[in-house]
Amino acid sequence: MKDACVVAGGQSKWGYRDATLIELFQEAGKACFEDNPHIKPADIDGILVASACSERLSRQTHLAPMVAEYLGIKTSSVCARVELLCGSGSSAIILAAGMIKSGLSNTIMVIGGEKLFTPQRWETFYSQLGSVDHDWDGAQGLGLPPSLLSIVFQRHAALYGTTEEQLAAISVKNRRNGLNNPKGQFRKEITLQDAMTAKPVAAPLKLYDCCPITDGAAAVILTSGEAAKDFTDKPLVKIIGTAQATESNSISNRGNWTTWNALKTAASRAYSKAGITADDVDVAQTHDCFTISEVIEYEDLGFCEKGEGGIFAEKGLSDFGGKVAVNTDGGLLSCGHPFGGTGIRQAIEIAKQLKGDANHQVEGAKYGLTHNFSGAIVAHTILIYGRD
Partner 1 sequence: MENQFNNLYSVILDTYPMEGKQLTKIWKFFEYLKEGRLTTTKCIKCGKVSYPPRILCPECLSEELEWIDLPTKGTVEYFTELKAGVPVGFEKPLIHAYIKLSDSFDILSKIVGIKSIDDIHRGDKVKLKVFDVPPIPAEIGRDKISIDRVYFAFELDN
| Residues within the interface to partner 1 (CB under 8 A) | 56, 118-120, 122-130, 133-144, 146-148, 150-151, 154-155, 199-205, 250-253
Closest CA to 91 of 278, 347, 326: 347
Axis-axis angle for helices 291-300, 164-178 (nearest 10): 100
- The single residue of 337, 360, 371, 380 carrying the catalytic annotation is 337
Q: How far is the CB of 207 from partner 1 (least distance, A)?
A: 8
How many residues in total does the chain contain?
388
- The single residue of 32, 53, 86, 211 carrying the catalytic annotation is 86
Nearer residue to partner 1 within complex by CB, 148 or 324: 148
Closest CA to 376 of 127, 204, 134, 211: 134
Nearer residue to partner 1 within complex by CB, 156 or 183: 156
- Residue 337 annotated among the catalytic residues of the structure: yes
Q: How far is the CB of 35 from partner 1 (least distance, A)?
A: 34
Nearer residue to partner 1 within complex by CB, 72 or 141: 141
Q: How far is the CB of 139 from partner 1 (least distance, A)?
A: 5
Q: Is 138 helix (H, G, I), strand (E, B) or coil?
A: helix
Nearer residue to partner 1 within complex by CB, 56 or 380: 56
Q: Which amino acid is at 334?
A: S
- Give the span between the Cα atoms of 168 and 188, in whole angstroms: 15
Q: How far is the CB of 150 from partner 1 (least distance, A)?
A: 4
Nearer residue to partner 1 within complex by CB, 201 or 350: 201
- Give the span between the Cα atoms of 111 and 344, in whole angstroms: 7
Q: Are 288 and 211 in contact (CB under 8 A)?
A: yes
Q: Is 9 helix (H, G, I), strand (E, B) or coil?
A: strand
Q: How far is the CB of 63 from partner 1 (least distance, A)?
A: 19
- Give the span between the Cα atoms of 74 and 91, in whole angstroms: 22
Nearer residue to partner 1 within complex by CB, 143 or 336: 143
Strand duo 107-114 + 46-50: pairing: parallel
Helix H or strand E encompassing 205: strand 205-206
- Give the span between the Cα atoms of 49 and 79, in whole angstroms: 8
Q: How far is the CB of 379 from partner 1 (least distance, A)?
A: 17
Nearer residue to partner 1 within complex by CB, 179 or 196: 196
Alpha helices for the chain (secondary structure H): 21-35, 54-58, 63-70, 88-102, 122-127, 146-160, 164-178, 192-197, 225-231, 261-274, 291-300, 309-314, 331-335, 339-355
- How many angstroms separate the first and last alpha carbons of the chain? 17
Q: How far is the CB of 144 from partner 1 (least distance, A)?
A: 5
- Residue 86 annotated among the catalytic residues of the structure: yes
Please list the active-site residues. Answer: 86, 337
